[in-house]
Every structure is written in structure tokens, then in C-alpha cells.
Structure 1
């Protein structure tokens, strides 16, 4: 059994190495050996790395990324921590809507949220043409405004981290402080906040990593405001003529270096923090009804309009407008953009074939990637939880590293690895083929698939597997008959989440798109780039609605199937698939 487990651990470790670590290693090597992957093994020295401080575009991209990351991480963590504190203490009507909005922002593609803000805040946007707020343009299109937008978009990462940390409470510390005359705010500042600092550090790190590697915001801003960042400059280096692999390699090296330093700081901070306060006297936090619940509800709904209603509501409104700057009037209302998306040309290189073909291709790639990633994630979670494989530490490293690798860096690493001439005779020259898009989507989904399943696997008692092993059950029999029926609902949610996020993955689609291969996010982004805002927003609404309906439909069908299986199991006395209490 141990031999089979070691083999299984070795197989999934090798797969993750090829999918995640190898392209990352290729990017780092290309920074000091620019010709390594193109037949030139000459070492050009390390001076190319320091040229970033001499070339203006490179330096500005680095400075903008660091500034945006630090600002958005700080603002997003403060905002997420404040909301998490309110949510963990009080129970009020709008609290559930806050949770829903957090997950929507977490799953929604960043470039779609950013496009909504651009349409709202540009000189011809709704803020100026409808509300008469001319100051919004000057506020948003500057570094502090971009930090504001990114903080509103990325705060869910800090929110969920802090909420999880505040689930448990050791009330004796609070009681001791109150007995000594401390007021509620003093109790929070001197007791609760210090105990939650590791969660705040983790939330800050996650927001920083997600912000500095974000490709959607600069891609959306490119039409109205020049703000180069490391991910967008890497993309530009690959898509210009001649291709600047040296520039892409150096900028990718600095992006990876910043992310590695951030992760190191997080580990050191958590290691030095005193977090061992949970003991047998710890209790779950009981949420109370606030005295002025209506004030909290009004404030929460106002915040939801700001962070989610403005970008999504603006995109929905613009999809029905003939001209963006003409305001909301009856004579400016039209269904033309939806007709163009579904049934006819719109004056550009778009047609019914392109949008429907792009949607079909994106859905197909996302579905295949979701299935592969969930299978790999299931095996990785099993190896990490129930085996003594020697490669567990390597698996942990690969899954953690993949969380911090931006799609643009992953894309350029795939170009370096899979665009080699010597791979053609053996049929592995994957660059320019849809299979490489599937690999990139799998690499992006694996860390989330693993993390979601680890939480459920941790709740399973090893005694169940030991009892099966005593009866002669093989490793795969235990997976199929014990673990899979118990964690199936988690697997379903992980598959649907991976599918939904992969459909609108703009970064890897932009880097790895095959020629004459249409993808939905590229159609939307290109239409937006050519100022065809009505077409872009209509395509977004239609594509998003189809994805949501597919997710709801699949979830309903499988839940119905699971329910029927449970009924049959109970009727036949078969305990597989029933919950542990029934067993």
C-alpha cells in the first residue's frame, strides 16, 4: 500500500512540476540567459537584470505595480477587516447580501469589473453624462483612484481570512479587560486585534499578491489611461514586433521575486506571532442583534452599490445605450448590441460566428480544465491528508507557489517551454494549440481545488480508511467507495468554481491564444479596446448569464442525482453516500 501511495504521490508531483514549477523556472532562467530557449546558450551576465532601473518603461512598470500593490493591499485589508469584524459580531438583514457580494467579487473576472469602472468614470461615462459628477474622472484616473478601485475589488480576500479567524473566541480575555474598565473599542484594540494579527497579515499578503499580478485592470485602462504595470508590460513585450523576450523575462523575474519576498514575509510574520490562544475553553462567537440594525443594513447596501453595483450596473446599462455619452434617455435606448452579439455583424470584425464560437471554445476549455483540475486536486488532497508519501512537502510547495504565480508569468513560461523546435518530432510542440490553454487553466485552478478539498478531507477520520484496509480494500477502492461519496458535494462546488473562473481568464488567453482561435474574453476585450462599449458589455452580459445558468443547472441536476442515490442506499441498507450520523 505504501509503495502504491508513493507512486501516486510521485505521479501528481511530476504533473504539478510540469504544469506549475517548470514554466516558473523557465521565466527565472530566461532573465539571466535570454537565449536559453532559442538556441543561444551564451551567458550575457547579470547586468540585464539591473537594466530595469535604466529603462524608463521597465522602471515605471515596476514602480506602478509596487505602489498599486501596497496601496490596494493596505486599503483592502483595512476595509475587509472592518467588515469582517462587523459581520462576525452582529447579525442583521443585509449581512447575507454582503457574503454573496464577497463571493461574486472573488469569482468575477477582474477585467470585467475594471471595464465597468472605466465606463462609469471616463469623461463620457455615466458619472459625468448622467449624474453630472465631473470630479469622478479626475479622482479615478490617477494612482490613488486606481488603488481605491483595486481595494474595493480585492477586499474579499482579506474579509474571508479575518472572518475565519474570528469564528472562535476566548471570552475570558475580553471579560478580564472589561473588569479592568476597558471599553468595547479598547477591548478590540488590545485583545481581539493582536490575536487576529496573523489573519490580517495573511489577508494583506493575499490582496497584495492578487493585485500585483492582476492583468485585468491595466488591460481595461489601456483605452483611456496609461498606467503600465509589470503584467501588462510583459504582455506588451510578447505581443509587439519584434518580440522582446529579454524585456518579458526581466519583468517576469522581478514580478516573481516580489511575490516570493511577500510569501517569505508572511511565513516569518506568522511564525513569530503568538496564535496559540485556542484551548478547551474557546467558544464559537455568538452573533448579536445590534441596537440600530437598520443603520448597518443601509450602510451595507450603500457599500454593495459602491463596490459591486457601480461596475456591474454600469456595464448592464451601457449594453442598452446607443451612445455612451448621450445619457439615459428613451431615444438612446436600443437592443442593437444584443442583436449584433447574437445574430449579426456590428461594423467590426465581429459576427454571430465569432461570439458564439468564442463562447463555445471558452466553455469547452473551462469544462475540460475543471474536470482535470478536480481529479488532480482530489488525488493531491488524498496524498497530503492520508498518506506518508516522501513527496508531501514538495506537493505543499507546488500548490502554495501556484497561488502566487500570475497568469501572465505562467503564460510566458509556457511559451518558453512548449515553443521548442525539438518538440515537434515527438508531437509535444504545444504552443499555438488549444491544449496549452487547457494546461494553463488547469494550473490556475489546481491550487483552489486542492485548498477547497483539504478542508473537507481534514474532517474525515482515518479510522474509516484503516477499517477498509483491514478488509483488503485497495487505495483506489478506498477513494471510490469511502472518500468520494462523502466529499462529493465539495467536489461539485470546486468543479463549478473552477469552471466559472476559467471561462473569463483573460491573462492566459491573451498570452497563449492560437491563431484563428476565438475566445470569449478576447472578443470582449478587443471590442472594448476599439471603443465598441455596447457590444462588449452585451457580450459580457450574455456570456455571464449563460455561465451562471449552466452552473445552476449542473448543480441542480447533480444534487438531484445525489439525493436519489442516498435514497437508494438507505433503502438497500448500503451506507456508502449516507452521512456519518446515519452510519
Structure 2
């Protein structure tokens, strides 16, 4: 009974933490719409007609339309592009193919606002494209809805690429061979056999692209400097930083943003239920890319040109602009000198971001480890609920989570018990933990699946208590996964623009806020230099920590 009691206590503890960090702020956004002012001492039964105001107020309606347009357009194009590249990459190998794999991961881990800033600096009216190549037409092409869909597509296609590429890991050739023996052309075979079998992967990739696109705050925040294209996340942010503060607007727009994501998840569940194919059998073989009989050079050249656009423009523009004088006529190191001046805010912002990310990474690692344990080994009755809640934070945009934290932690009565966290760095820590939990949990769950439960049972039979089993068996066996999960959470927290832009306390700058504010003030060179230095230092810290861990982990025993 004692082991079961310990597991149940852990389950209830984990559930309580997830409710506090994730579900309660999300519920607060919905409650604010139904009961306006309830979180500020003014209980009024809501008029649901406020939800219909989105169709009568121009800015609200434009934000909703733009988010839907950007989300649907990017979902279609990014899914098609990602699926096509994944299919090509799984079938053929060619020179520079590894660069495509590396670039996909680079695009995933690079914050969207940095990629968007690179495109702005390249394609703006007086950007690098005009200065270096004389391309005056590019500004008109990019800064319109179709152009923004193109930019977002080149940033989000890796989500569909990885999803489809993973589904292509195994193949069953008898289906294809049977179709070809019956006279089917290669196109007919792909359309009638392979594509339907991969339909669930396409749906999963499309849902990831849609959720990440409609909840993206970085692109509209960067584009706003040169082109007015309000979206739901950016308008929510604007509602909190106008005078007077528009909590009604933020609440309603957050409701519709959550509704869009919920609808996407429902559509995916419906499609997956109607298109389930269990086709792997003992005759399945692992897919191996082969060198094509001809066209290998063409694939390599095409890949280089493609990567030159998707990586070279956003990343290269940041690097080049950081060395370009404000006049654009010469190269200079002035922007880097400004970063290290005595009155530079970069050091302060970078230090704050590191402190928040480090604390959030440690707390998130502890919570994520316990969540993973409950999901993997316990018989807790509500572990399915815990799994769903841990994924909700991955789907809910940072701006929605941020406004929910304002509603919850900006209560006067919390001051009397010392928990008025709004306006303090601790609210950034909590929000960062909430965002890190799903990533940490997925990494650790995958590693825990390889550790047999019998090891824990054997230790239990030898009298080891719950904490003893965790610290002496699971932690040593999962050291690599724990470090990877912690570093992933750390890196993501440092560059979380959405949460820090909404929740950062007065006179408490963070690295992404410093970069974004410099960009909004059209200090492109300074913003680029801050991005390069900040990103480089974060990568260096992660590399050092990982190397120290590996060296310690692999060191031979003194015995």
C-alpha cells in the first residue's frame, strides 16, 4: 500500500502544479470573457454579445481575418513543402543532403522573431536587397499577405518535414509492387497507395504548422516596424500596452485564438480517426536513401539555392547588418562596441534572461521528471488528464498564457500573503516553467520508456523508498536525457519573446525585449549585433555545460 500511496501523492502533486501553472491561467482567459472584471474586484455577469464585437470592430476583425489567412495559407504551403522535401530526402541521398537536415533543426530552434527580423532587414524599402543587389521589387513582394505567407512557410515547413520524414522511416514494398504490377504509374502509385498511408502524418504536420503559425508573436511583432498586419497575438499584446489597458479586447481575442487552435485539434482528431492505417508488418524494412542514377548534382545545387534562401536570408541578414554602418555604405564594428558600453542595457537584459532561464530550467526539470514518472510507471487514475494538460501548454500561444498569468497573479489579496507575483521576475519564471514542461516531459518520457519497471520493483522489494528509487536508479540512468531536457528548456526560455514582452516587470529588461525594442526603434544594426552576441553566448553556455556533463559522465572510475 505504501508504494501505491507514494505514487498517488506524486500524481496529485503533479496535477496540482499543472493546474496552477497551465490550466488555471488558461481558464482565467475564458472566465474574463464571461465575467468581465471578476479578477479586478468588479463582478459583472458577462454579456456574451461581447464575443460578437470581433465582427463589428475593425481592428478585432482584421486581426482575426489575418490570423486565419496566415494560418490556413501557411499550413497548406508549409505542409506541401515539408512533405515534398521529406519524401525526396527519404528516397535519395546527394551531396549537401546533411545540410538540409541541419538547417531544419536550426529553423526549429531559432526564435521566429529573429528569423522575421532577418527578412525585414533584407526586404525592407532600404534593406540589404536594395543596397547590395538593387532589388527594389522585393519590398512589394514580401510585405503583403501572400509574401508573409511565403516568409512564414519558409520558417514553419520543418514541422511538417520532421513529421512526414519520421513516418517514412519504415516501408512495405509489397503494396507499391502490387500497384505497379497492375499497371499503375509512379504518380498513380503515390497518389492511391503511399499518400493515403501517410495521411495521418500529413494531418499531424499540418496541425503543428497551423498551431505554431496562428500563435506566433515574433513575426507580426517584427513586421509591424515596416508593414501593418495585425494578428490575434500581436493585437492581444497591443491591448495590454495601450492607455487605457483593454482587458476586454485582450480577453476576447485570446478566446478566439484558443478557439482556432481547439478547432484545429478537433479537425486533426476527426481526420486521424477516419484515416487510420496499420500497415507495418514483419515484411517492413527500414527506409534507406540511395543515390539517384542521374540528377544528383542538380539536387545538390537546388538544395544549396533553397538553403541560401531559407537560412542565408534571415540568418545572413542578421550577421551582415550587425557589421553594416547605419548609412549602409560601409562595414563597421560600432554596433558591437555599443553592446559593451558601460550604459548598455544588453548586459543587464542578458543577465536577467540567463537567471530566469536557469531557475525555470531547474524547476521545470523537476516538475517534468515527476510528470514523466507518473505517465510512465504509476497507476495514478488521472494520469491521462496529466498527459493532456502537459500538452496544452505546447498548443496554447505564449500571449494567451501571459494574459492568463496577469489575471491570476495580479490580485490585491495576494499581496497580504506575499504572493503578488505580477510585476516581479518570479512571474516570468512561472510562465517559463509552464512553457518548458511539455518539452521536458516528452524528452524524459522517451528515455524512461527504455528503463524497465522491474528495476524499480526490485529496489522496492529491497526496502528502497520512493525518493531513494528515483535518485539511485532513474536519475543515474537518465542523466543524458535530463541534461538534454534541461538545456532545451534553458535555451527556449532565454529567447521567449511572447511571454517576456507581456510579463516583464518595469525596469527589468530581458534579452528578447532588448532586441525587439531596438528593432522597433529601427536600430537594425544594434538589434542584429545583440542577436548574434546573445545567441552565440547561449550556444556557448549550452555547449560547455553539455561537454562538462559528458566528460564527468564518461570519466573512468578511480577504482
Tell me which interval the TM-score lies in, with the shorter structure as reference length: over 0.9
Deviation of 1:378 after TM superposition, in Å, equals 1.3
What are the residue-to-residue correspondences of 1:334-413 with 2, within 5 Å?
Answer: 334-343=332-341, 351-352=343-344, 354-413=345-404
User: Are residues 276 and 315 of structure 1, via their aligned partners in 2, closer, same or farther at CA, if it must alter by over 3 Å?
Assistant: same
Partner of 1:555: 546
Listed as ranges, the matches of 1:39-78 within 5 Å are 39-78=41-80
Give the deviation of 1:91 after TM superposition: 2.3
Alpha-carbon shift at residue 526 of structure 1 (Å): 0.8
Shift of 1:523: 0.9
**Runs of 5+ unmatched residues, structure 2:** none
Q: Match for 1:316 among 313, 316, 319?
A: 319
Distance 2:21 2:46 in 1: 28
Measured after TM superposition, the shift of residue 469 of structure 1 is 2.6
TM-score (ref. length: structure 2): 0.97
Question: Which residue number in structure 2 is paired with residue 137 of structure 1?
Answer: 139
Residue 514 of structure 2 corresponds to residue 523 of structure 1: yes
- Counterpart for residue 233 of structure 1: 235
**Aligned-pair CA distance for 1:299:** 1.5
SS of match in other structure, 2:36: coil
Q: For 1:438-477, list aligned pairs within 5 A.
A: 438-477=429-468
CA contact (8 A) 1:158 1:204 kept: yes
Say if 2:484 is the partner of 1:493.
yes
How far apart, in 2, do the equivalents of 1:511 and 1:125 lie?
Answer: 29
SS of corresponding position for 1:321: coil
Aligned to 1:347: none
Name stretches of at least 5 consecutive residues in structure 1 with no aligned partner.
345-350, 573-583
Q: 1:333 aligns with which of 331, 334, 348?
A: 331
Distance, in Å, in 2 between the alignment partners of 1:484 and 1:186 is 51
Question: Mapping of 1:114-263 within 5 angstroms?
Answer: 114-263=116-265
Deviates more, 1:47-56 or 1:165-174: 165-174
Deviations 1:235-294 (A, max 9, x none): 000001110000000000111111111111111211221221122222211221222322
Most deviating of 254-263 and 172-181: 172-181
Secondary structure in 1 matching 2:423: coil
Q: Which deviations, in whole Å up to 9, do the C-alpha atoms of 1:190-216 show, x marking residues without a partner? A: 222111110110000000000000000
The correspondence for 1:542, drawn from 524, 533, 550, is 533
**Contact persistence 2:390–2:437 (CA under 8 A):** yes
Superposed CA offset, 1:475-512 (max 9, x none): 32232222222222122122111111111111111100
Give the length in aligned residue pairs. Answer: 556
The two structures have a TM-score, normalised by structure 1, of 0.93
Q: After the TM superposition, which residues 93-112 of structure 1 pair with which residues of structure 2 at under 5 Å, given as runs?
A: 93-112=95-114
Deviation at 1:86, TM superposition (A): 1.3
* Greater shift in the superposed pair: 466-475 or 244-253: 466-475
In 2, Cα distance between equivalents of 1:91 and 1:488: 34
Q: Is the 8 A contact 1:32 1:49 kept in 2?
A: no
Structure 1 CA distance, aligned partners of 2:458 and 2:274?
40
* Cα displacement string for residues 406-433 of structure 1 (whole angstroms, at most 9, x for unaligned residues): 1100000000000000100101100000
Q: For the residues of structure 2 that align with 1:421 and 1:495, how far apart are their CA atoms?
A: 34
Q: Take 1:43 and 1:429, find their aligned partners in 2: how far apart are those partners?
A: 26
Root-mean-square deviation over aligned CA pairs: 1.3
In 2, the alpha carbon distance for the partners of 1:486 and 1:295 equals 46
Q: Spell out, residue by residue over 1:360-417, the C-alpha distance to the aligned partner (whole angstroms, 9 max, x if none).
A: 0001111111121122111111110111101201101101211111110000000000
Give distance in 1, aligned partners of 2:296 and 2:490. Answer: 37
Runs of 4+ in 1 over 3 A off after TM superposition: none
CA–CA distance in 1 between the matches of 2:365 and 2:219?
Answer: 29
